[in-house]
A and B are shown apart, each in its own frame.
Chain A
Amino acid sequence: MIAPLLGLEINFWLLLVVKMGLIAGVISGAALVAIYGELKISAHMQSRIGPYFAGGRFGWAQPIADGVKFFQKEDLMPDDADPFVYKAAPYVVLGGTVATFVIIPWGPDLSVRDLDLGLFYLLAVSSISTIGVLMAGWSSANKYSLMGGLRAAGQLIAYELPLVLAAVGVAIQAGTMSLGGIVEAQTQAVWTIGSVDIALPYVLGGQLIGFVIFITASLAELSRTPFDMPIAESELVSGYMTEYSGFRFAAFFLGEYAGMIALAAIASTLFLGGFWVPGVSADALQYLGPLVLAAKMGALIFLFIWMRWTFPRLREDQLQSLAWRWLIPAALLNIAVTAVFKVVL
């Protein structure tokens, strides 16, 4: 899509605006689908039906109705809250998440910008959300929010490391940090049986442990159960989001689902082969690529939702001990083994 457009030499700034609009649309649309999916899937797992009335028998308009509801609520702020920090916090969280969509490759030339340092940029930018969470927790002038914010800070920082280290294993194996390059590296044949080249996505091609670590760390980065101590509903009401209502709460809410989609997309790209399916030519992937990636993301999002509604939550010290004593050593081991194999083979 971009290649034919490039032939027309569209003004850079116009193209930029188009891309931003597309990303905004994709994020909102995908988030709505993810929210609806969560409502329905969790309901069926609990022998309920889920949304039923909004929009006919399937309740597909429920997320839209929720969005409208959030927009029309009163704009509240606690008296003791720090106004600037309080108002800025949701946008910092959302901004960090949205910025990760820049490098996701939807097809073999279909990304907003395929940076050479893609992976590095991704992991750096996704930590901005942590600051937003701390800002929200502190500025709410509420002891529960403060506790939620502190718990969140500890958790998010602790789980950044396994996330990064698992991604480093992929970077070593692919030899590049650009996400487009990583997908291309996964299309390289690993074996040749007869005349058929077998290429494996990295989850099967040596990065299974990395995949598991990445998924676990993603759940923790998203503060989803079993890692939702910061928002432990039965203890802190809503953690750092307690004092937020209306549009600002919608921003947090959207940020959570956008983050889920982003991390699912990244995990699919790094480990599951991204937009590539074996046996389909690169030209067809220009158009099928987004669908393939969406399907893989859908599978991962289903996994996230499934785990949320099945597991209880870990206690804070258990959570930290899982990160520091299990995930990080495993990720380091993974890097060492990957490096050895890369050099030897």
Chain B
Amino acid sequence: MTTPPEIMMHLSEAAVSVELETAEMTLNIGPQHPSTHGVLRLVAKVDGERVSEVEPVIGYMHRGYEKLTEVRTYPQITALVNRIDWVSGFANEIPFMVAAERLMGIEAPPRAQYIRLILTEMARISSHLIFASSYPLEIGAATPLMHALRERERILDLLESVTGGRFHPNFNRIGGVKPAAGAGASTKKVSQDLPAGFLDETRVAMERVVSVCDDLDGLVSGNEIFQARTKGVGVIPVEIAKSYGVSGPNMRASGVPFDVRKVDDYLPYDQFDFDVAVGENGDCWDRYQVRLEEIRQAARIISQAIDSMPSGELQAKVPRIIKVPKGQVYVRAENPKGEMGYFVVSEGGRIPYRVKIRTASFSNLTILQWILKGILIPDIIAILGSLDFVLGDVDR
């Protein structure tokens, strides 16, 4: 599809540039721009509509997380960490909690782990619904935004009913989860359960989410213009993905069926039956399809988790002041944006010595200079949108 018009454009460009010697223009895309997902600046050298090279400039949202973790106690860091990737807040806390728990040698009770799993998958659905609404908008279709966000509101309401926060739950505790919102700070540690009706409402919400995925399939995926804008655009070969550290749906769209949930045991995913969404070519179209499929699989996991939810404690026995013994550990998780990990260096004590936060979007963005060469300007927008990054994740 793209070859004949490209050849035509090349020929016409060749003729014109011999006579006119059109100068290259440096176009600044961002940092304030509707489509760069935050404050990302791309300094692009363009010749008409064709981009010859792009230099990304990041750091506008650098908040100094790694320095902050050197002066905060472990429970305090939990409150900070869900602000890294603010679209899927809950999922950022999990690997850090598991890392601290591994160093302490304790494990969260099963009910707490199931609750963590359900809320992580809901965060995943929430993040992918944001993608499914904003990506067609950047391509030009304005309507899917409303439909997808309407369903996302349901998920956010459910998250709020359990944790008290829509985006920044701060719900994890070392050794489990917090007794559900409404327990009160002055009561002794009594395992208060999830809010009444939460599980049934979640079931209903999952059905609605799957039905909106079907709507989006009809409205967006079936549209020839959308397919023409995304198929064959922004192909990431597997070797490049490995060399640059591209993870998550971006990597799975290139055909690699690797999912951290299947290989690591930070949460009890092995109890559930779910498929890993894999694409074929690694273009924007595949990245879009992989994320839609992941929404369906997440809904499937949540339904199974609700059906087999164990009862019991919500938090293991931990001392009031958390002191984590000396050691170094790396725990990673399959976040919606990709692989997120924490390398915690603890020297015993209440405050870690060093925490290295490996974020998915930072590594995903390292391919920008490679992938944004020799393409048209609208394709920049299509590719940036399909990588689905958030600047908080990139800049930390």
Q: Shortest distance in angstroms between A242's beta carbon and chain B's nearest beta carbon?
A: 12
CB nearest neighbor in A for B145: A46
Among A46, A310, A315, the residue within 8 A (CB) of B146 is A46
Please give, as numbers and ranges, the residues of chain B lying within 8 Å of A311 by CB-CB distance.
140-141, 223, 225
Question: B143 and A315: CB pair below 8 A?
Answer: no
Answer whether residue A288 sits at the interface, using C-beta atoms and an 8 A cutoff. no
Question: A312 and B139: CB pair below 8 A?
Answer: yes
Given contacts A234-B137, A312-B225, contact A229 B34 (CB under 8 A): no
Binds A, one of B96-104, B198-206, B306-314, B371-379: B371-379
Given contacts A46-B147, A320-B5, contact A232 B25 (CB under 8 A): no
Q: Which of A45-101 contact B (CB under 8 A)?
A: 45-48
Given contacts A228-B140, A312-B136, contact A321 B34 (CB under 8 A): no
Given contacts A234-B138, A310-B143, A320-B5, contact A315 B376 (CB under 8 A): yes
Answer whether residue A313 sits at the interface, using C-beta atoms and an 8 A cutoff. yes
Q: Which of B212-245 contact A (CB under 8 A)?
A: 219-220, 223, 225-226, 228-229
CB nearest neighbor in A for B379: A315
Report the bound CA distance from A48 to B147 in whole Å: 10
Total number of B residues with any Cβ neighbor in A under 8 Å: 36
Answer whether residue A317 sits at the interface, using C-beta atoms and an 8 A cutoff. yes
Please give, as numbers and ranges, the residues of chain B lying within 8 Å of A147 by CB-CB distance.
27, 49, 377
B1-27 vs A, CB cutoff 8 Å, 1 = contact: the mask equals 000111011000000000000000101
Among B137, B141, B376, the residue within 8 A (CB) of A317 is B376
Answer whether residue A116 sits at the interface, using C-beta atoms and an 8 A cutoff. no
Question: A312 and B229: CB pair below 8 A?
Answer: yes
Q: Which of A223-251 contact B (CB under 8 A)?
A: 225-226, 228-229, 232-235, 237
Q: Shortest distance in angstroms between B81's beta carbon and chain A's nearest beta carbon?
A: 31
Question: B5 and A310: CB pair below 8 A?
Answer: no
Total number of A residues with any Cβ neighbor in B under 8 Å: 31
Answer whether residue A309 sits at the interface, using C-beta atoms and an 8 A cutoff. yes
Question: B381 and A234: CB pair below 8 A?
Answer: yes
Report the bound CA distance from A39 to B49 in whole Å: 32
Report the bound CA distance from A35 to B27 in whole Å: 34
CB nearest neighbor in B for A321: B5
Q: Shortest distance in angstroms between A176's beta carbon and chain B's nearest beta carbon?
A: 37
Secondary structure class of chain A's binding surface, majority of residues: helix
Question: A310 and B140: CB pair below 8 A?
Answer: no
Residue from A42, A237, A315 whose CB has the most chain B CB atoms within 10 Å: A315
Answer whether residue B142 sits at the interface, using C-beta atoms and an 8 A cutoff. yes
B157-179 vs A, CB cutoff 8 Å, 1 = contact: the mask equals 00000000000000000000000
Report the bound CA distance from A312 to B136 in whole Å: 7
Answer whether residue B350 sits at the interface, using C-beta atoms and an 8 A cutoff. no
CB nearest neighbor in A for B150: A47
Answer whether residue B35 sits at the interface, using C-beta atoms and an 8 A cutoff. yes
Q: Shortest distance in angstroms between A152's beta carbon and chain B's nearest beta carbon?
A: 13
**Chain B interface residues (CB < 8 Å from chain A):** 4-6, 8-9, 25, 27, 33-35, 48-49, 136-143, 145-147, 150, 219-220, 223, 225-226, 228-229, 376-379, 381
Given contacts A151-B49, A312-B136, A317-B49, 20 further A-B contacts (CB under 8 A): A46-B143, A47-B146, A48-B146, A144-B27, A234-B35, A234-B137, A234-B381, A235-B35, A237-B34, A309-B141, A311-B141, A312-B139, A312-B141, A312-B220, A312-B223, A312-B229, A313-B139, A314-B229, A315-B229, A317-B6
7 A-B contacts (beta carbon < 8 Å): A46-B142, A46-B146, A310-B141, A310-B219, A317-B6, A320-B5, A321-B8
